[in-house]
Amino acid sequence: MNNNEIQRISVWSRALRITHWVMAAAVVMLIATGWRMAGDLLPASTLQDDHFLAAAFLIPAFLLRIYLLFFGTGTDHISDCEPDMNRLRSAVAVLKYYFSLGRSPLPNWYAHNPLWGPLYLLLFLFFLIQILSGTLQQSHPYIGMVNLHDVHIIGAYVITGFSVVHLLAVFLHDLGGSGSDISAMINGHRIFILKKPVATQQSGEVQSVSLDELRRSLKNKMQDNNRP
Ligand code: HEM
Ligand code: HEM
């Protein structure tokens, strides 16, 4: 007989999900229009208009995400992405899962993936660099010795690479884990398979749980102590 409980816990706030999907759609369009501009495939003015339109969606969504990062609560806050010893151990387990091509178990975690959390912070830094170099490069091609166009191209490589690997990673997490990660980014709720249900408390928009209790109750031990 199977005594496991399935509990859906709200881990992503509506604001975080909206910023995620607006930024994701804008970045896909910026990548598509930017690289086509670099390859001169269409009249530059048409592509530039579309590039600016996508930038006009990216910038407010990014500013809201940065606001939440510093002034938000729960999993919106920067502390949910910061590494600590437990998360570093879990991050190593996630890497082992990748390198063993799924044969090593994927650890459990609460909200941000322990390996990817710090990488998202780095991505936000590159968004900032890209926004500044993009908005300034036509009026100020150089800042000191730095060519802003070159900075923008380097940023484009990093963000394009990140996006491809991110898609692959979230697909693998959804495949190898039980958290239903992709639908969680849509509806806010991750799935936890527990030996017994845990008490949840409403903390702003998301639910918080005692992570010790959650860790004890998880069917597969939770190695990460991500703070709700
Ligand atoms: C994810 C973010 C972004 C990516 C991946 C990206 C990528 C690119 C690429 C590949 C180019 C072509 C460079 C070339 O022609 O050699 C470009 C050009 C440009 N981008 Fe972006 N970009 C991004 C964000 C932005 C933002 C936020 C702005 C701000 C308005 C911006 C403004 C520009 C401008 C002004 C150009 C030059 C257009 C031209 O030379 O005609 N970009 N971008
Ligand atoms: C169809 C495309 C995408 C899907 C299905 C997707 C899915 C996800 C999922 C499941 C997470 C939670 C992962 C975790 O930390 O455990 C996540 C987080 C994140 N994704 Fe995506 N993603 C997509 C596109 C993108 C793109 C293009 C970007 C930007 C380059 C992006 C940036 C982020 C960021 C920054 C986070 C962290 C959430 C935050 O703190 O704001 N995603 N994504």
The per-residue pLDDT for 208 is 80
pLDDT of amino acid 76: 97
Percent of the chain with pLDDT over 90: 76
* Arithmetic mean of pLDDT, 62-88: 96
The backbone region for 40, taken as left when phi is positive above 0, alpha when psi lies in -120 to 50, beta otherwise, is: left
The residue nearest atom 5 of ligand 1, judged by CA position, is 156
Q: Whose CA is nearest to atom 3 of ligand 2?
A: 167
**Mean pLDDT, rounded, for 3-26:** 94
Ligand 2 pocket mutation pick from 12, 17, 20 by most atoms within 8 angstroms of CB = 20
DSSP for 106-175, please give it. PPB-SSS-TTHHHHHHHHHHHHHHHHHHHHHTTT-SEETTEEHHHHHHHHHHHHHHHHHHHHHHHHHHHH
**What ranges do the domains of the chain cover?**
14-177
Over residues 113-131, mean pLDDT: 98
Output the pLDDT for position 226.
45
Residue among 130, 128, 112 at smallest CA distance from 120? 112
Q: Which residue has the least CA distance to atom 25 on ligand 1?
A: 134
Closest Cα to atom 1 of ligand 2: 167
Identify the residue whose C-alpha is closest to ligand 2 atom 22.
167
Amino acid identity for residue 86 in this structure: N
Mutate which of 40, 45, 51 for ligand 1 pocket (most atoms within 8 A of beta carbon): 51
Per-residue pLDDT, averaged over 50-55, amounts to 97
Query: Could you tell me which residues are beta bridge partners of residue 200?
Result: 209
* Pocket flag, ligand 2, residue 162 (CB < 6 Å): yes
> 14-177 belongs to which homologous superfamily?
Transmembrane di-heme cytochromes, Chain C (1.20.950.20)
Percentage of the chain lying above the pLDDT 70 cut: 93
- Mean pLDDT, range 87-116, rounded to an integer: 95
Mean pLDDT of 86-104: 95
- CB of 47 closer than 8 Å to CB of 22: no
User: What is the 20 CA–ligand 2 centroid distance (Å)?
Assistant: 6
- Whether 1 shows a pLDDT value over 60: the answer reads no
- What pLDDT digit, counting tens, does each position of 171-228 carry? 999 999 989 999 999 999 999 988 777 888 887 788 888 877 887 777 665 554 444 4
Radius of gyration of the chain (CA): 20
Q: 34 CA to middle of ligand 1, Å? A: 5
Q: Distance, CA 134 to ligand 1 centroid (Å)?
A: 6
Range of lowest pLDDT (42-56, 129-143, 196-210): 196-210
Q: Which one has a higher pLDDT value, 131 or 45?
A: 131
Interval between CA 44 and ligand 2 midpoint (Å): 30
Q: Which helix (H) or strand (E) holds 32?
A: helix 14-38
